Chain A
Amino acid sequence: MKKWQIFKQGVLEEMPLQLGVFPFGIIYGVMAIESGLTFLQALLMSSIIFGGASQIAFVQLLSNSTPFGVIVTTVGAINSRHLLYSISMVEYLNKLSVSWRVMLAYLLTDEAYAVSIRKFINHSDNSILHYHLLGSGITLFVSWQISTLSGVLIGNDLPEFLDLQFIIPLTFIAIIIPMIKSKSTFLTVIVAGIAALVFKNLDINFWIILSGLFGILVGMFSSRLDKKL
């Protein structure tokens, strides 16, 4: 497969998720303006931070006059899960130039990672797979900027399609279910899911990464039980 074909595949596989991402971007745009950010601040935050949930938390806290230290910590906590994404990408991307790694790290968000990691795992011998992540990441980036702009311009007149956001967890389901191929991967999902319910309910800031770490540990310890399901 040629580079541009892999890039195109990344773009096409990322496309369905945009039905869910777009309303999310609009909500952020509306909230950003309501929180008191200027048009330019609201818009450029989507390129400077480029992290949906953390941007929404940012503007919510800002509108409640939260101390800046708390805002920075919260954004860091919400995006801390990307550290794990990046760690899992090391074996596939560590031979690339620094400029490539910088660009791909910038684009490494939930939706791009979810789509591309499957490709990386299933075709780990292919040396140009980073074009897939480039395609999925750029697609998400463009969609996020346009939806932010739409939200900033629409203001309070929110359209009635916000339930479409449900496409995002459905896509993640479609991606992770085929990855459950053994007892240890099954236990990882169960434990991470239960831990998420508990930690989120306890209002722990780092609940995603904490739940994830529990899941990974259980997966590692139970790997000796593995026989293909």
Chain B
Amino acid sequence: MTWSLIVLCGVITFLIRFIPLSGIISSDLPLFLKQSFKYIPLAVLTPIIVSDLSIIENKNFLLIDNFKLYSALIAIFVALIWNNVLATISIGMASFLIMSNF
């Protein structure tokens, strides 16, 4: 039974990823819909980032001593200034490790 459950979840996950690419979406979509696609990376990755920053834990706002939040703000600043993936990750991670350990 557990195997069936794993396979069923695998099939559902694959279908979620494949259905739009299966050809059911025409490439002649209305322009406004095509333009909406450019917002998808921002609109979906932002909630993941926000969630990973532990701003709300057990229904409490954690804004003070939230080192992940502070480090993320530093990373945003670095990304704005240098637009460099490696610098953003390195400085953000270094800030986080320093704040959490000292």
Contact = CB atoms under 8 A, between A and B. Distances in A.
A58 B79 CA distance: 35
Interface string A48-84: 1111001000100010000010011001100111111
A170 B16 contact: no
Interface string B48-84: 1111110110010000000010011001100110011
A85 B40 contact: yes
Nearest to A108: B17
A128 interface: no
Given A176-B41, A180-B42, A185-B39, A86 B18 contact: yes
Interface stretch (A1-9, A138-146, A150-158, A195-203): A195-203
A181 to B, nearest CB: 10
B96 A166 contact: yes
A105 B14 contact: yes
Contacts of B68: 166, 169
Interface of B: 1-3, 5-10, 12-14, 16-23, 25, 27, 32, 34-53, 55-56, 59, 68, 71-72, 75-76, 79-80, 83-86, 88-89, 92-93, 96-97, 100
Interface of A: 13, 16, 37, 41, 44-45, 48-51, 54, 58, 62, 68, 71-72, 75-76, 79-91, 93-94, 101-102, 104-106, 108, 110, 113-114, 117-118, 121, 163-180, 184-185, 188-189, 192-193, 195-197, 200-201, 207-209, 211-216, 219-220, 223
